[in-house]
Chains A and B, each alone.
Chain A
Amino acid sequence: MDFLNAMVVLANFVVIPALAYGAQLALGALGVTLVYGLLRFSNFAHGDTMAFGTMVTILATWGLQAAGIGFGPLPTALLALPVGIAGTALFALATDRAVYRFYRKNRAAPIIMTMASLGVMFVMNGVVRFVIGVDDISFADGERFLVTARDFRDATGLDEGLAIRMTQIITLVVAGVAMALLFWFLNRTRTGKSMRAFADNEDLARLSGINPERVVRLTWIIVAALATTAGVLYGLDKSFKAFTYFQLLLPIFAAAVVGGLGSPLGAVAGGFLIAFSEVGITYAWKKVATYVLPEALAPDGLAQLLSTDYKFAVSFALLVLVLLVRPTGLFRGKSV
């Protein structure tokens, strides 16, 4: 019984939150890794792309809510998501046209493109703050819980409850669908294969008649879709705040590097790895330990390895470890 209780506590406070957070990070890292693999630079504007997409989605959500359209027990934001993706894709394509294309044509060094992405980051950040402000915005509506802690306790007779929030389940489902679509697209369709060919060897791909501008446009559209989805899921799960999204850049980059920059599978693995380490290291293990360990061994303190304020330190430490031990990442990404 104690063991079951311990498992429930673990699932409630570590496994489920980390799964949801990991899925959000993985979607973000997929965007970073695709830009890196196909456009060959580290996109520092990615966090703000997520914020931009979420902003458009929030505006659309408000519009739907004002029109009285809801999505039953699910958050209205899911209905608004396509609008957000479309808006972000348009913005990303416009940015590419106005900024990145010039450097691509001149075959500028990747670092110059990265620098340009800093400029784009400033602009996007400014736009988001200008349009929607800097405050915390909570836009989740519909049912809050799929299973509440009390229902779970009543149903199972255990001491500990397991609460599953609607947003967590939605995150997992939506992220799973998005990833499945992406991998299907990259591995099975002709266009996806042409994109991978372009990533492997740009010159060879051009020689085989692949239109580079088309690949680039597709990449931006996919990246915008991934970023918006990641941003909206994160915002539903926690809340929307422009600055938080900027700060997500670090765990997202860490996930992409840990998995291996340029490797989509690595990005997903990296996202979950970072999320589980972050949640696991900053979680206070006291409750789990008191259930599992004999009474004499039960900890006095919170048994928390690091305070939650240091969650960035966890992704950073993993990043440094990977850089030291295996710089190409777990899944052997590529280097420029």
Chain B
Amino acid sequence: MMRNVLLFALVAALFILTGALQSWNSALGILNMAVISAIMAIGLNMQWGYAGLFNVGVMGFAALGGLGVVLTSTSPVQGAMAAGGWRILGALIFAVAVIVLARILWLRTTGKIRYWLLAACLIVGAIIFRIIFDAGVEGVESIRPTLEGNIGGLGLPVLLAWPVGAILAAGAAWAIGKTALGLRSDYLAIATLGIAEIILSVMRNEEWMSRGVKNVIGLPRPVPYEVNLQQDPDFVAWVVRHGFDPVTASSIVVKLCYLGLFGLVLAGIMLLAELALRSPWGRMMRAIRDNEIAASAMGKDVKARHLQIFIIGSAVIGLAGAMMTTLDAQLTPSSYQPLRYTFLIWVMVIVGGSGNNWGAMLGGFIIWWLWVMVEPIGTAALSTLTDALSDGWLKAHLQDGVAHIRLLTMGVILLLVLRFNPRGLLPER
């Protein structure tokens, strides 16, 4: 217990130090992303720590959460539904129907014929789908392409988008879990790696949906805008009375509002996760993880439980992804990179302590802080080192390369923790 308190105190000290030495604004900025990272790490910890599922598609689920924000909270584009939105919707429903039909054909037939039937069903289905779908897409994308060119969203409050993001991620997790769970553990890894790439390439290319690489900017926010605060005389008077600069103060207040929201979500998820882990359900999950054969001999449905925890964990990651997109107020599909969004979260879970929710959360805070701070620290260290060097090719090259030191650092940290402290900072009880 003492160890937990000490470690969390250390994290708090890190952030306070950053605030005091750099600026409170940037410390809060890092903290907000750290909270989101911690939620992602808790989601991943459910999959890996409770159940031993190796999910390397965190990026995809987080991106789906972001897509949820766009589809829920942006206002609908005028005339998009008439121009082709209904067609697209119809095509998507048709696609689902084809897949269901293919599944029924596959189950109801035997022998050689089932392969032919399956292929025929999928090929004919794909051709009809493209005929319906392409015209719809063309219609939607031709609406003011520089500004919109997508179907927009439902115009609902942005907070509602968070659970929607979670549901989208859960749906993807269901599909992938149905296919790859129950096979060898590495197959799930490869399948999730693939689905994450595909989700991202869909988001980068389907402009009718997410505007692709043109990005969706100016997403609605659940908190006040800095500009509005600065124009509010009451606010300005209040901060000036306490001796702050209105511009900085407004930015800090906005960040604090976000922090409050994110903190509430983190606390809620933490509470639920801890309750679940201590419940009979949690004991069953750990029993399955530690010995699948024994657990299934006791009558536990291992595959169904794995699917369940995989979906729940992915939903938590999707929720965090939606929160992150809300914080950024924009969706930029090209900015999602597996090293940053998948493998960094893995480092958080391993370093923090897999199987322990508090550990995953701690890992989220520490590793995110390091990820942000390694670069300035590295730059400073390097400039002292290279001071002695004369200006030239080598010096310039080293200084360019400092941006990549964070990858190296994360890899070394992961390897060291795995080797010398495999149970992490806060081991599972």
Among B72-80, B185-193, B358-366, the stretch in contact with A = B185-193
A133 touches B400 (CB 8 A): yes
A123 interface residue per 8 A CB criterion: yes
CB distance from A118 to the nearest CB of B (A): 6
A122 touches B343 (CB 8 A): yes
CB distance from A305 to the nearest CB of B (A): 7
A125 interface residue per 8 A CB criterion: yes
A116 touches B194 (CB 8 A): no
Which residues of chain A (240-281) have a CB below 8 Å from chain B? 243, 246-247, 249-250, 253-254, 257, 261
The dominant DSSP class at the A interface is helix
When distances are taken between beta carbons in the complex, the residues of chain A under 8 Å from B404 are: 126, 129-130, 134
CB distance from B344 to the nearest CB of A (A): 9
A-B CB pair tally, cutoff 8 Å: 132
Query: Which of B183, B184, B400, B414 is close to A118, meaning CB atoms less than 8 Å apart?
Result: B414
In the bound complex, CA of A15 to CA of B190 (Å): 28
Query: Which of B56, B198, B338, B419 is close to A316, meaning CB atoms less than 8 Å apart?
Result: B198
When distances are taken between beta carbons in the complex, the residues of chain A under 8 Å from B401 are: 129-131, 133
Which partner residue on chain A sits nearest B416 by CB separation? Answer: A119
In the bound complex, CA of A114 to CA of B186 (Å): 8
A312 touches B190 (CB 8 A): no
Interface size class of B (residues with CB under 8 A): 35 or more
In the bound complex, CA of A84 to CA of B418 (Å): 29
CB distance from A187 to the nearest CB of B (A): 27
Which partner residue on chain A sits nearest B408 by CB separation? Answer: A126
A99 touches B205 (CB 8 A): no
B195 interface residue per 8 A CB criterion: yes
A122 touches B193 (CB 8 A): no
B191 touches A319 (CB 8 A): yes
A122 touches B407 (CB 8 A): yes
A121 interface residue per 8 A CB criterion: yes
Which residues of chain B (309-360) have a CB below 8 Å from chain A? 337-339, 343, 346-347, 350
In the bound complex, CA of A320 to CA of B56 (Å): 16
Which partner residue on chain B sits nearest A320 by CB separation? Answer: B179
The dominant DSSP class at the B interface is helix
A118 touches B343 (CB 8 A): yes
Which residues of chain A (191-245) have a CB below 8 Å from chain B? 243
B52 interface residue per 8 A CB criterion: yes
A313 interface residue per 8 A CB criterion: yes
A310 touches B343 (CB 8 A): no
When distances are taken between beta carbons in the complex, the residues of chain A under 8 Å from B186 are: 41-42, 110-111, 114, 261
CB distance from A80 to the nearest CB of B (A): 20
CB distance from A91 to the nearest CB of B (A): 13
A114 touches B189 (CB 8 A): yes
Known A44-B56, A305-B126; 9 more pairs at CB < 8 Å: A41-B186, A42-B186, A110-B186, A116-B415, A122-B407, A122-B411, A243-B337, A254-B194, A320-B179
20 A-B contact pairs sorted by A residue (CB < 8 Å): A44-B56, A44-B189, A115-B414, A116-B418, A119-B411, A121-B343, A122-B347, A123-B415, A126-B407, A126-B411, A130-B401, A130-B404, A130-B408, A249-B193, A257-B190, A310-B202, A310-B205, A312-B198, A319-B194, A320-B179
User: Which residues of B are in contact with A by a Cβ distance under 8 Å?
Assistant: 52, 54, 56, 126, 179-180, 183-187, 189-191, 193-195, 197-198, 201-202, 204-205, 337-339, 343, 346-347, 350, 400-401, 404-412, 414-415, 418-419, 422
